């Protein structure tokens, strides 16, 4: 079974690439990009050149659309050194069937 991710590019540059686990889904070339993914729990992240966004655990039920936006990460201390200057967040559209995004724990 499959599901769909609908991602609003927001703060991400147009050459940002959406990663699902360790594979590339594709670039965020438009204001909104859609990707079909297997239903279930996944690790989603952005690759921006040699930097990356905050990895996020998502759970998508079969035949649903998970809508999210890329936002600025105000918690990034040294984003150009450690990455993580953007992260995923549920879209602000209350009519959207969004699911909660749970950022992965950073290992110490």
For 12-58, what is each residue's pLDDT tens digit?
Answer: 888 899 999 889 999 998 999 999 999 998 989 888 888 878 888 88
CATH number at residue 95: 2.60.40
Average pLDDT for the chain: 78
CA-CA distance, 50 to 42, in Å (whole number)?
A: 22
**Domain range enclosing 12:** 2-103
What pLDDT does residue 103 have? 46
User: Would you say residue 15 lies in a domain?
Assistant: yes
User: Would you say residue 81 lies in a domain?
Assistant: yes
User: Would you say residue 9 lies in a domain?
Assistant: yes
Higher pLDDT residue, 90 or 100?
Answer: 90
Q: Kindly state the DSSP code that residue 82 receives in the 8-state scheme.
A: H
What pLDDT does residue 93 have? 56
How far separated are the first and last CA of the chain, in Å rounded? 36
User: Would you say residue 85 lies in a domain?
Assistant: yes
CA-CA distance, 29 to 19, in Å (whole number)?
A: 14
What pLDDT does residue 106 have? 42
User: Would you say residue 89 lies in a domain?
Assistant: yes
Residue 79 host element (H or E): helix 79-82
User: Would you say residue 108 lies in a domain?
Assistant: no
What total of structural domains would you count in the chain?
1
């Amino acid at each position: 079974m499959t599901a769909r991710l609908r991602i609003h590019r927001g703060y991400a540059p147009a050459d940002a690439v959406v990663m699902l686990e360790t594979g590339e889904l594709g670039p965020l070339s438009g204001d909104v990009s859609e990707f079909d993914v297997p239903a279930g729990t996944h690790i989603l992240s952005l690759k921006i050149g040699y930097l990356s966004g905050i990895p996020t655990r998502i759970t998508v039920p079969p035949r649903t659309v998970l809508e999210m936006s890329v936002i600025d990460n105000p918690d990034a201390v040294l984003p150009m050194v450690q990455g993580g200057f953007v992260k995923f967040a549920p879209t602000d559209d209350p009519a959207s069937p969004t699911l909660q995004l749970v950022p992965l724990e950073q290992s110490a």
